[in-house]
A and B are shown apart, each in its own frame.
Chain A
């Protein structure tokens, strides 16, 4: 995570500073916060695209397609998906470098808190990938993943965070090509959605 933390800081620093100022300016009233953020957003539009992306995600998303590189945190299971990703690498299959991989022993290890935390730390999307159902090294881990994380997906959508930002996939150790496809599809989708600003903490990534 720490590597990713550094990574996230670089392109976001401008926007974060802008954000922090807004918060100070409009801290007395909830309403004025929003007004404040719009003002700062418009000031920065000329000078810094990254800053304006941060502040007004919806309008900017369409303008800056191509400029915006989504950050994806990928939780890959040790036995299938991580090996699958490895295979994609050794087979020299091209896929976007937007994914930062965290290896877990089983997709069932992924606690919904991990996903929420990744969003808080500035991830634009989170991918959880494990063995196909029935292939789990621990026999039933991914069946539990399926129940737990599909409910999380519903919950995110209900809370107004686009469910498309959270992807679950089954990639076996032999599916290097599928892994590359999953990552590139997911990256494309996140590019369309624009940056995730809802859950990012005020001070930006720690």
Chain B
């Protein structure tokens, strides 16, 4: 890897320590080394000591913006003064896309975050050990990544990485296999996957864009749309509606698939809808906070070949 992660790590710690000591931020959301594995886990660093535990390596897979929305929404306890200082957060380029998308959807008030952006050449997949320098294989999502430099950051750490591809030239080869199947084969594929799904909702809970206070799948009144039964029709219902709720918003951070205990290829659904959203409506999620959301806007000339 061309990027010197250790130097970047020192720099992250330095910036975080400065912010915390100056009292500019409530805390800094970052990664620390997990005590009993190679993995990194989230840390809410609120002291200089905490700041020195921050790490940056190939296994900082988690998307910390997931915690950010919850934190921003928290109300102060009764009798306590609200802490109005911004929250510091360390983001990878893919996480910074989530920040853009959340800003677009007015979930991040202006001045409520301070961002340390790190450039990234791809993260590793801790579920696939591989002999070599990094000891793990590169994550799937990183091989189709279009952004290697953070889009939204107060401080950028690391040398700029040359962008190799754009959404415009993405051939979506990872969903091609499924698209080329017949409808019946595709059904067999998704039926098999749905039979395995245990509906733990980990994919929803890990998703930075699934921030609804009350999720439709938790809703019991006035009508329970999705029964709790774990069977194929209900699971397909769940995956279709979850996918649609993320269509045009999903920034492909891959957290859903990483969180899935049954290894269901959830990203395939997201990637396919991303492709169609781009083809149909030219939607590029997570690129510009000034863009309009896909389902919140329309064009008079939207394609409608299949409408009678």
Contacts and interface: CB of A to CB of B under 8 A. Distances in A.
A200 B231 CA distance: 11
A188 to B, nearest CB: 13
B243 interface: yes
Interface stretch (A37-45, A62-70, A93-101, A161-169): A161-169
A48 interface: no
A113 B241 contact: yes
Nearest to A143: B298
A90 B170 CA distance: 53
Interface in A89-124: 112-113, 116-117, 120
A198 B244 contact: no
Given A116-B240, A144-B298, A158-B178, A150 B304 contact: yes
Contacts of A150: 280, 302-304, 306-307
Interface of B is mostly: helix
B308 A182 contact: yes
B308 A158 contact: no
Contact of B186 (A58, A116, A134, A159): A159
Between B273, B281, B307, the greatest number of chain A beta carbons within 10 A of the residue's beta carbon is seen for: B307
Given A120-B233, A146-B307, A158 B295 contact: no
Contacts, number: 121
B183 interface: yes
Contact of A168 (B179, B237, B272, B308): B308
Interface string B241-259: 1011001100000000000
Nearest to B194: A159
Contact of A144 (B184, B234, B295): B295
A159 B195 contact: no
A170 B216 CA distance: 29
The 3 closest A-B pairs by CB, nearest first: A160-B187, A160-B186, A143-B298
B179 A158 contact: yes
Interface in A147-195: 147-148, 150-163, 167-170, 182, 185
B300 interface: yes
Given A147-B298, A151-B247, A169-B307, A116 B241 contact: yes
B185 interface: yes
Contact of B244 (A144, A152, A157, A163): A152
Between A140, A143, A160, A201, the greatest number of chain B beta carbons within 10 A of the residue's beta carbon is seen for: A160
Interface string B15-58: 00000000000000000000000000000000000000000000
Nearest to B283: A147
B256 to A, nearest CB: 16
Contacts of A156: 240
B211 interface: no
A147 B302 contact: yes
Contacts of B244: 112, 148, 151-152, 155
Interface of A is mostly: helix
A75 B280 CA distance: 24
B141 interface: no
A199 interface: yes
10 contacts: A112-B240, A133-B300, A143-B299, A146-B298, A150-B304, A150-B307, A152-B240, A154-B276, A155-B247, A170-B307
A6 interface: no
Q: Which range contains the number of A residues in contact with the other chain?
A: 35 or more
Interface of B: 178-179, 183-191, 195, 216, 225, 227, 229, 231-234, 236-237, 239-241, 243-244, 247-248, 269, 272-273, 276-277, 280-281, 294-295, 298-300, 302-304, 306-308
A117 B223 CA distance: 12
Contacts of B186: 158-160
Given A152-B240, A155-B269, A160-B187, 8 more contacts: A113-B241, A150-B304, A151-B244, A158-B179, A158-B269, A160-B188, A160-B190, A199-B236
Given A143-B302, A146-B304, A160-B187, A151 B240 contact: no
B300 A143 contact: yes
A90 B281 CA distance: 40
B191 A155 contact: no
B308 A170 contact: yes
A3 interface: no
A113 B299 CA distance: 24
B183 A146 contact: no
A202 interface: yes
Between A151, A161, A170, A185, the greatest number of chain B beta carbons within 10 A of the residue's beta carbon is seen for: A151
Nearest to B272: A158
A10 interface: no
A32 to B, nearest CB: 13
Given A113-B216, A160-B189, A185-B308, A120 B302 contact: no
Contacts of A146: 298, 302, 304, 307
